[in-house]
Structure 1
Amino acid sequence: MADPDPRPDGDKPVEAAPTPRVPGTIKVGSIAGSAVLVTPSWFLIAALIAWVMAPQIDAAEPGLGWLAYVAGFAFAIVLYGAVLLHEAAHAVVARRLGYPVGAIMLHFLGGATAVESEAKKPAHEFWIAVVGPLASLAVAAAAFGVSFLTPDGLIGLFVTGLWVINLLVGVLNLVPGLPLDGGRMLKAGVWSATGNINRGSIVAGWAGRVLSFVVLLWPFIQGQILGIEPRLTSYVVAVILGVFLWSGASAAITSAKVRLRLPLLVARDLARRTLAVPADLPLSEAVRRAHEAEAGSIVTVTSGGEPIGLVHEGALLATPEDRRPWMATSTVTRQLEEGLTLPADIDGEELIQAISKAPAPEYLLVEPDGSIYGVLVTSDVDAAFRAGA
């Protein structure tokens, strides 16, 4: 799936705009141009790892006493160093392909890299996803090779634990279901086959939901399969991982379904016919002319015909009819500030982004030559979106 021109449209790598640090996180450095943040939950999992590892460390290196817990905490740091390499691989490849990358977050369940824009090609999605598991498998292979050279004891235990856990992380992340890296690879495959990124997200999301059920059921069936009776911790871990997988997969499905409806939003099709009137025309006369012309909106223009304001529907309806003959139409208009004039052909996600960037009740739609096409009312966009649900 190699791409002869790895960067979208041949652009240079894009730098992510600085984002505010998540409250409570600690910055421990940066790697691949991204800040590395540690959440408070990491200290909880590090303490848990130290507690679990302490008896094994004491058996491998007798006589350490309370230092066994310190060594266990050190193992947690080493282990998350490998997680950081996994996430850094995502960040490096994403930047190489031209995508902005935010912070790398280390948390209770591992790590996450904030690639701050959607992939433009299936190949990009695939390579950004696959390098993480490959990095984990590379660490596992290296640690496995070193394990033959290390003596028994604390170091040998650390090296063995490192290759075993990284092997598990690498293999499990290749399982095809969102939000795992394997899910993103499945998404890329479906996207490549169907030409629709959202279909890919939905398929991979459902695969992730199925996986979450398997994880939740695992403690109940592991005794029959492996002959090992589950402990309480097995159920707790299964619930945590199952909820994590379900929520991540569900979020991906919801987002994809929203994106599938976006192409239905075409500004030209949703526009209201508009009437252009002088700004000083009495409001009652402007309304009369609009009714006569069967126009659903009114725009005020200069003497030269240049649009300068949009009549606010809410302000118009709130104005008593007996006052309208004595009021200029401009008194219930909103000036055409930046962002309130949109091209008539704007649609889909671009339309939603434009509305989000400059929120307003109405927008003026213009043709490429600058002539007025109509007025787009935000409530009409919302109604069209809901109708397509």
Structure 2
Amino acid sequence: MSGRLGHRSDTIRVAAPVGDLPPRSIGPVERTRRAPRRSGRSPGVTVGRVFGVPLHLNSSMVLLALLVTVLYAEFARRQLDLPQIAGYLIGFGFVVSLLGSVLLHELGHALTARRYGIGVRGITLELLGGYTEMDRDAPSPRVDLLVSLAGPAVSAVLGVAAVAATLALPDRTVLNQLAFQLAVSNVIVALFNILPGLPLDGGRALRAAVWAATGDRHRATEIAGWVGRAVAVGTVLLVALLTLWGFLAPLALPLMLLVAFTLWRGAGQSIRVARVSRRLPLIDLARLARPALSVPTGTPLAEAERRRGAGPRPDAAVLVADSAGRPVGLVDPAAAGAVPVERRPWLAVDAVARSLDGLPAMPVGLDGERVLEFVRTHPGAQYVVTSGEDVVGILHIADLAQLLEPHRKMNT
């Protein structure tokens, strides 16, 4: 039985479709979470635009700036025999140069994506480097490959330029040391990023190659994700060996382990997203939404439960309709279940119902990708599924999660 939703039809908003992978890249580490800005965590402070692309600074960047400034200040002071204040100024200058290199790396991704018609939401600089957020995925393996490798290519060019500057400048001078550190940083970023495993840029390149060979983007993503997990494990082993052999300072160990952990988590998320995306075509709101049973306002809770139990779907959602027959409330199962049985014949459903105005409404005709984007944009536990002004049913987020990840344990 469907209800009438005459006053909510103008609030239905359909978000833009999404692809199967979060199109975000990061230097030196790329991550794989897609969340619209209006529903995800804050990207940080917006400091301006570069080539029309919004630039954000995350608060974690302050931690990185302080850490690198102090470490490099001490290094520069010992190498060049400088006063302490001069060392800190040089350290800060190195941080600014390093951030500029990361920004250029991300601009490589952003401008290449825009060249192929992919919108760019912004670039964020944060603790482990930065990331570029795009509004959709690459339409083909070729474009995916070009966008993925654009960032490392920029870092490689910067590294070569910094190497040339290092060789040209007088040894053991401030400019020579800054050029040397920039050369090392950009070469490491370029080499590390082309490792063939998600969420690194090289992982996206591997995905593009497998996608081109198999025609299955989801399978390509999953394969590149598992390779990414192998890269994360290899990073931990390499860091441990370098520390034991004395090539890596113990102070740098936590940061390197954080990089490895970020790789592992990003690879796992890529695998999960690939599996979920493969099941998106199974989403059919007309079948997935729980049917709605409408009862007049003032109906005793016991009577509403009796009607629901007598129907074909005992899990049907109970709507409260006003005197004109329009649904205005939804009975909260948890609140209803907390009412003692002996009180239910005397308690109206209105007392355990929430207003429908507080629930997002989505059209029944949305496909799987649009449903997922709608949920990301309007997070909640329940959604009103509509056909025009009629209420088709109520979608529970737990039902959607169970459909997309049937083997994942859900909180009850």
Normalised TM-score (structure 1): 0.72
Residue identity in the other structure for 2:386 = V
SS in 2 for 1:34: strand
1:241 is displaced (CA, Å) by: 2.4
Does residue 313 (structure 1) correspond to residue 333 (structure 2)? The answer is: yes
* Post-superposition offset of 1:273: 3.7
Alignment check: 8 A CA contact 2:123 2:130 kept = no
- The one-letter code matched in structure 2 to 1:51 is E
Pair 1:136-2:159 in alignment: no
CA distance in 2, matches of 1:330, 1:16: 36
Query: What is residue 203 of structure 2 aligned with on the other side?
Result: 183
SS of structure 1 residue aligned to 2:357: coil
Which deviates the most, 178-187 or 145-154? 145-154
Q: Taking structure 1 as reference, are residues 162 and 344 closer, same or farther at Cα in structure 2, changes over 3 Å only?
A: closer
Determine whether 1:34 maps to 2:55: yes
Amino acid at match of 1:184: R
2:297 to 265, 279, 284: 279
Shift of 1:34: 0.7
1:130, 1:182 within 8 Å by CA — same for their partners in 2? Answer: yes
What code does the residue aligned with 1:50 have?
A
Deviates more, 1:288-297 or 1:86-95: 86-95
Matches for 1:142-157 after TM superposition, within 5 Å: 142-146=161-165, 149-152=168-171, 154=173, 155-157=175-177
Q: Is the 8 A contact 1:259 1:349 kept in 2?
A: no
Classify 1:68/1:345 alpha carbon distance in 2 versus 1 (closer, same or farther; 3 Å): same
Aligned twin of 1:12 = none
Whether 2:128 is the aligned partner of 1:113: answer: no
1:44 corresponds in structure 2 to: 67
Q: What secondary structure, in the 3-state scheme, does the structure 2 residue paired with 1:35 have?
A: strand
CA separation of 1:333 and 1:57: change in aligned 2, threshold 3 A: same
Distance 2:85 2:399 in 1: 67
Amino acid at match of 1:82: S
Structure 2 residue identity aligned to 1:140: G
Which protein is bigger by CA-based radius of gyration?
Answer: 1
Pick from 260, 272, 295 the counterpart of residue 275 of structure 2.
260
For residue 133 of structure 1, report the CA deviation from its aligned partner.
Answer: 1.3
Corresponding pairs, count: 360
Shift of 1:48: 1.9
Match of 2:27 in 1: none
- Answer whether contact 1:300 1:308 (CA < 8 A) is retained: yes
5+ residue gaps, structure 1, are 1-7, 10-14, 59-63, 224-228
Query: By how many angstroms is 1:183 displaced?
Result: 2.2
5 Å-filtered alignment, 1:151-230, equals 151-152=170-171, 154=173, 155-194=175-214, 197-218=217-238, 230=245
Matched residue type, 2:331: V
Contact 2:219 2:274 in 1 (8 A): no
Q: Give how far 1:312 is off.
A: 2.6
Q: Per chain length, whose mean CA-contact separation is higher, i.e. which structure has more relative contact order (CA < 8 Å, sep 6+)?
A: 2
| In 2, Cα distance between equivalents of 1:203 and 1:382 | 23
Further displaced range: 297-306 or 208-217: 297-306
Instruction: Supply the RMSD in Å over aligned alpha carbons.
Output: 4.2
Q: Is the CA contact 1:267–1:344 (under 8 Å) kept in the aligned structure 2?
A: yes
Partner amino acid, structure 1, of 2:233 = F
Q: Offset of 1:287 from its aligned partner?
A: 3.2
Matched, 1:241 2:260: no
Question: What runs of 5+ residues in structure 2 fail to find an aligned partner?
Answer: 1-17, 20-35
After superposition, give the CA deviation of every residue in 1:66-95 in whole Å (9 maximum; x if it has no partner). 687357524554344333322333344455
Q: Following the alignment from structure 1 to structure 2, what is the Cα–Cα distance between the partners of residues 212 and 243? A: 10
Structure 2: distance between partners of 1:307 and 1:231? 70
Whether 1:250 aligns to 2:265 is yes
**Alpha-carbon distance between aligned partners in 1 of 2:377 and 2:96, rounded to the nearest angstrom:** 42
TM-score normalised by structure 2 residue count: 0.68
Other-structure match for 2:104: 85
Residue 299 of structure 1 aligns to a residue whose secondary structure is strand
Query: What CA distance in whole angstroms lies between the structure 2 residues aligned with 1:144 and 1:356?
Result: 45
Does the 8 A contact of 1:173 with 1:182 survive in 2?
yes
Q: What are the within-5 Å matches in structure 2 for residues 85-104 of structure 1? A: 85-94=104-113, 97-104=118-125
Instruction: Give me the whole-angstrom Cα distance separating, in 2, the residues matched to 1:379 and 1:174.
Output: 38
Contact 2:70 2:88 in 1 (8 A): no
